[in-house]
Amino acid sequence: MEGIHILANLYECKNESILLDENLLEKEIKRLIEKSGLGIVGKCFYKFKNAGVTGIFLISESHVSVHTWPEKNNSINLDIFTCNVSGNNENKAKSLFEDLKKLFSPTKIKSKVVKR
């Protein structure tokens, strides 16, 4: 199935509080996924003791995952994959990525887009 896979590392994120707060992180990512027009079908988040949060949203188009590393220079690993079963979701994935970058406010970004 064709789709787009955005893989990114975000460094020195200025919005530090969200990296530690499981509930806030989940709420804000959910809001942005819904804004993008992608469909949420499930989720799972876990807060590590004295560290960051890992979480995933299962979306009808595939998934969005995030791993925060406040203890590692306020970094984030981000993964957005959308397939194109019912239409081309590439712009939705790219829009979500732009909104997530604004949310986290990193000073440095390494990203790769893979067409699958």
> Residues 3, 114: contact at Cβ < 8 Å?
no
- Please check whether residue 110 is in contact with residue 6, taking contact to mean a CB–CB distance below 8 angstroms: no
- 60, 62, 59, 24: which is closest to 45 by C-alpha? 24
Show the tokens assigned to 27: 């709420």
Active site residues: 62, 67, 83
